[in-house]
Structure 1
């Protein structure tokens, strides 16, 4: 590392605390966010420490040009942000804000040493430090995505492992409430358990409630119809409830045919009629 790069390295480390405070002062009120300006003093100090470590890690790249040490910070903080449920865009916005603060200090150093700094030095520093920021954001995004995907997978496993997906409400009538995208239930094991449970409960009718399904497409509807056909082979009638207006509109636009299946707007209406009939 040449003399001027060493001086820039040392200058930036001397201003770590000032940069962290400027970043903390730039925060705004953000609901349900670790970055919110009205966070507790404990959270603020926690963010300050993280920022100090982040800055030192970025500055260290000037010394050896290596990005190897960036991964540790990115993985640790991205994992914490994902577990807290902070949206990724918030973290990216704060990366952007701090980059601006950081490069103001680089500009201040250049202004102090205009007579001795060469143009190629400025270009090299700008390239190296911007690459360090970009690499950190890339790593942060990657690790955040990995944790988020793992959380979604865990949630799906919880849904999949529910011991009683079919709720028996009488000797012959059961209810299957679906939540989320129908595609989330696209599993032979899930469908098989529905069939087995409906048969074991000796149901003559299964009500599939779509109140918790936000949207539907042709592929998802085909999955639903396959379940209906399989139930029919077992001698079990199917009733569908809770078709939301947006789903009904999509069904019409896609030309989907629900006419062969008994439908109700509300689950309670279907249950009332079915229990009365039986």
Structure 2
């Protein structure tokens, strides 16, 4: 039986280029043209060779199989779905079994040889599938992280009014994580734009409680160290009542009812300075 497996393995290795071409022909109906072009023929023939070698000595190829799977998945991940990649992988099984079936008929191998081939080849292809899944998942996580970061940055838009003044219209709840993001973005933008005034407009913030106020104070004090005067606008009457009832002290912080009033105040200060 070992001799039969060895014979089939050697036959696969000897014809690896032909078998690789057969695989790629089958893949053309499934994979995008760009993916087919990005795959080298040596890559397909390498896997064919490893699968053939596994029938001769399957203990020696596992690490090489994982390495191949990682490199191949990395070449597919940008323009191919995981489902399509796994379906294209199945064609290697098809081509190997075509060879095996032909030899089984011509050489009259024992029927159990078919089971032995399956026991060796299938787990290796399963390892490749698992590695594909890991590579695609890591790529997906990376894309999601980039998208989430971009979305977070959009939630803290710094809108320049002129060379010295910018407005940050805040909308939605401000938790500890978002307040840290506000701090990082405003400090970076104020430094880059060389701002003298930054207006935090909280018209769209539904609740200002002790935690939110404390987070805003941290932003204001940090910007003060950069020489930026921070103004808060848009505190609605019901929010003002809440602030008073919970004892939050806005002493020392400049506030205005709305954005136009704040801008008018800044213009007046500029005129008085000049």
Query: Which TM-score band (shorter chain)?
Result: 0.5 to 0.7
Aligned to 1:203: 199
Q: Normalization by structure 2: what TM-score?
A: 0.60
CA distance in 2 between counterparts of 1:277 and 1:69 reads 66
Structure with greater helix percent: 2
Unpaired runs of 5+ residues, structure 1, are 36-42, 209-223, 240-272
Greater CA drift, 189-198 or 84-93: 189-198
Residue 236 (str. 1) matches residue 242 (str. 2):
no
Tell me by how many angstroms 1:70 deviates: 0.9
Answer yes or no: is the 8 Å Cα contact 1:166–1:174 preserved in 2. yes
Tell me by how many angstroms 1:96 deviates: 1.8
Tell me by how many angstroms 1:202 deviates: 3.1
Tell me by how many angstroms 1:154 deviates: 5.5
Aligned to 2:132: 140
**SS of equivalent to 2:92:** helix
- 128 and 90 in structure 1: CA distance in 2 versus 1, 3 angstrom threshold: same
Aligned to 2:10: 10
Residue 56 (str. 1) matches residue 49 (str. 2):
yes
- 118 and 225 in structure 1: CA distance in 2 versus 1, 3 angstrom threshold: farther
Structure 2 counterparts to residues 89-168 of structure 1, below 5 A: 89-114=83-108, 117-153=109-145, 165-168=157-160
- How many residue pairs align between the two structures? 213
**SS of equivalent to 2:128:** helix
**SS of equivalent to 2:198:** coil
Unpaired runs of 5+ residues, structure 2, are 218-230, 237-257, 264-274
- 88 and 33 in structure 1: CA distance in 2 versus 1, 3 angstrom threshold: farther
CA distance in 2 between counterparts of 1:225 and 1:186 reads 17
Aligned to 1:81: 76
Tell me by how many angstroms 1:276 deviates: 11
Q: RMSD value over aligned CA atoms?
A: 4.3
Q: Compare CA radii of gyration and give the structure with the larger one.
A: 2
Tell me by how many angstroms 1:92 deviates: 1.1
Aligned to 1:254: none
- 274 and 17 in structure 1: CA distance in 2 versus 1, 3 angstrom threshold: same
Tell me by how many angstroms 1:204 deviates: 5.1
Residue 34 (str. 1) matches residue 31 (str. 2):
no
CA distance in 2 between counterparts of 1:227 and 1:73 reads 55
Tell me by how many angstroms 1:77 deviates: 1.8
**SS of equivalent to 1:79:** helix
- 32 and 101 in structure 1: CA distance in 2 versus 1, 3 angstrom threshold: closer
**SS of equivalent to 1:86:** coil
Answer yes or no: is the 8 Å Cα contact 1:13–1:56 preserved in 2. yes
Answer yes or no: is the 8 Å Cα contact 2:203–2:233 preserved in 1. no
Q: Normalization by structure 1: what TM-score?
A: 0.59
CA distance in 2 between counterparts of 1:87 and 1:207 reads 43
- 155 and 6 in structure 1: CA distance in 2 versus 1, 3 angstrom threshold: same
